[in-house]
Amino acid sequence: MSHRHRQTKQKNEKTPVHTTFVDASTEGGKSTAERYARRMVLMNQVTNLRNAQRLAEAIPLQQEICVLDEQMHGRNSSSAGLSWNKLGEMQYENKDFAAAEVSLKLAVEIREGLGEDFDTSVSRDNLARIFEVYGRMEDAKKMRLRGRKAQNITCACYTCKYLQQGVGFDRLKACSRCKSVFYCSADCQKVDWKERHKFYCKAPETPAASTT
Ligand SMILES: [Zn+2]
Ligand SMILES: [Zn+2]
């Protein structure tokens, strides 16, 4: 009879500590080459585990990638921003919304710090999804529209061809009820509605209605 022991890794349940970027070549006693090699291994494991829906196992590995990226490229690097974004997506998929919010806020902060023209649309849309879960439609709308000036808003449908890039606000249409989420086509809106948005969509409250 087999009995599978569950290893409890307490440190993995916390958000990783933000390490200070000291010296990428020697910090922690590991060379840059060793870190790259470790990162490659972790990336493959995360991909496989995520595909197998084993998110609880994939998330601690992605957290380790975030720390490695901070050590190798700096806390405010585009690599770190991308890794935090991916961690937030996985935590969202795992319905760990509080942790996802922390990761995605960091991803947005890092990526917005890279310059006005840097495409932050996907991270902002991911964070807006968390706000939708919390019923904070106005915050979701504001987060998405923060890229309006730079024409930096993504279609909110996960299967969209515009996924992973911001498109101009003039090419998107808002959900007619909540006006908090934006799509490039009716097809994209239908897909996202069925998969996700119908659970959260609600009309904005008028000032009078909000007091009831
Ligand atoms: Zn689309
Ligand atoms: Zn809506």
Helix or strand run (H / E) with residue 30: none
b/e map of 147-163 (b: 16 or more CB within 10 Å)? Answer: beebebbbbbbeebebe
pLDDT digits (tens, 9 = 90+) for 21-78: 444 445 566 888 999 999 999 999 999 999 999 999 999 999 999 999 999 999 999 9
Share of the chain above pLDDT 90, in %: 66
Sequence-ordered alpha helix ranges (H) in the chain: 32-51, 55-73, 78-93, 97-112, 121-133, 137-145, 186-195
Neighbours of ion ligand 2 (CB under 5 A): 175, 177-178, 201
Q: Domain limits of the chain?
A: 17-114
**Ligand sitting nearest the alpha carbon of 188:** 1
Q: What pLDDT, on the 0 to 100 scale, is given for residue 147?
A: 77
* Predicted pLDDT of residue 159: 85
CA–chain centroid gap for 159, Å, is 16
Average pLDDT, the chain: 85
Residue 173: phi and psi, rounded to 5, are -120, 140
Which pLDDT band, with edges at 50, 70 and 90, does 10 fall under?
A: very low
> What is the DSSP secondary structure assignment for residue 174, as one 8-state letter?
E
For 137-163, how does the pLDDT look when each residue is reduced to its tens digit (9 = 90+)? Answer: 999 999 999 878 777 888 999 888 666
Segment 109-136 mean pLDDT: 92
Ligand in nearest proximity to the CA of 191: 1
**pTM reported for the whole predicted model:** 0.80
123 Cα–ligand 2 center, Å: 19
Q: Distance, CA 124 to ligand 2 centroid (Å)?
A: 17
CATH number of 17-114: 1.25.40.10
